[in-house]
Amino acid sequence: MKNIYRVRKINLVYESLRSTKVINNLLLILIFSLLINEANGQQDPLSSQYLNNYFTINPAYAGTTKDLNLSVGYRTQWAGFAGSPVTANATGHISLAQNKMGLGFSVVEDKIGSNNTTEANLAYAYHIRFKKDLMLSFGLQAGMINYKSDYSSLNLDPADPKFTNISEFKPNIGSGIILKNEKFLFSISVPHMLKPTNDATSITTGLYAQNLFVLGAYLLPVSYRIKLKPSVLLRSVSGAPVSVDYGMSMRVDNSYSLGLFTRDFNTMGFMAQINVGDALRFGYVFELPTNKSVGLNFTSHEITFGLRLKALRIHDLNEVRGF
């Protein structure tokens, strides 16, 4: 009996050391990404979809929902404003290995004026579960970014090198960490760790920067049917002011969500989501800029459609998730 106990103890120590080694390696990767955050002020594509799909800003969310989770979204910003941003995206992630890891993908197309950026990434996440449903997840993503510019329809000096039509492919690496249970979520991520350059003009105009995202959210039960979820998101990039989103949503019967949020108090937003059964979900976001930005005439709209599937036996669609 003593020998069996010693063997079990050795195995527990080994598993603990192995998990610690994995944690240390992933922490080093994320810390490195934060230290090299020295890019210009170009922001990532703006979206409010993260309020219902955290995978859009953090690869560590992959596989944390214990299902196959698919989502598509479309956003038009400042509708009616010539050359305004239009963003379309598709994401998917799945829980694997007894929900101890996750795999995912994301495809994003962002168009602003004469510039068009298409990005495709694959993501991997490793989950460590503690007592009381506490989970720590580390995520990495890697892929390619295609940047295109076409100024042929504009009245510009063709000899100006800054307005040369280009099409370039650039690699991308991103990382993130999530700590969560059924009552709170804390997320920190850098979706684009590499510093892009424009080979045609030797400047970084139009390419993504190394934005840092820090998100905190808490689920506050008001009654058996109603729950409140306050959230704060910080976006930071070198050379630009820190951007802050403040949000508050209300969930009713775990089927309907309504919320309000503001972005730097320059934009006021309303969001709604409805779950149809355990599988389908539809979301809509309306944003109204204030006089501090582009004026009250140019609103933004974002729609999302999501699908949950039980692709593996370990998946559970009946579980009610806080995040």
Q: Is residue 180 part of a domain?
A: yes
Alpha-carbon Rg for the chain, nearest whole angstrom, is 21
Cβ 192 vs Cβ 211: under 8 Å: yes
Q: Residue 318: inside a domain, yes or no? A: no
Alpha-carbon span 135 to 139, nearest angstrom: 13
* Rounded Cα gap, residues 93 and 123, in angstroms: 8
Flag whether the pTM goes above 0.75. yes
In a domain, 36, yes or no: yes
**Contact call for residues 66 and 315 (beta carbons, < 8 A):** yes
320, part of any domain: no
Q: Phi, psi at residue 317, to the nearest 5°?
A: -85, -15
Tell me the C-alpha distance between 145 and 205, whole Å.
Answer: 14
> 112 in a domain, yes or no?
yes
Residue 205 lies in a domain: yes
Q: Which domain holds residue 174?
A: 2-309
Would residue 91 count as lying in a domain? yes
Tell me the residue ranges of DSSP E strands in 30-161. 68-76, 86-96, 101-112, 115-129, 135-149
Tally the domains of the chain: 1
User: Mind listing the pLDDT tens digit of every residue in the chain (323 residues)?
Assistant: 433 333 343 343 334 334 444 445 444 445 444 444 433 334 567 778 787 889 999 999 999 999 999 999 999 988 777 778 899 999 999 999 999 999 999 999 999 888 899 999 999 999 999 987 899 999 999 999 998 887 766 666 666 666 677 888 999 999 999 999 989 999 999 999 987 666 555 554 546 778 999 999 999 999 999 999 999 999 998 888 999 999 999 999 989 999 999 998 888 999 999 999 889 999 999 998 886 665 667 889 999 999 999 999 999 988 777 78
Structure tokens at 193: 């760790």
Per-residue CA distances from 204 to 52, 174, 200, 228, 314 (Å): 31, 18, 10, 41, 45
The H or E element spanning position 21 is: helix 2-35
CA torsion, points 12, 15, 16, 17, in degrees to nearest 10? 120
Supply the CATH number for residue 42's domain.
2.40.160.40
Can you tell me the distance from the alpha carbon of 90 to that of 174, in angstroms, rounded to the nearest whole number?
Answer: 17
Q: In the prediction, which pLDDT does 210 show? A: 84
199 domain-assigned: yes
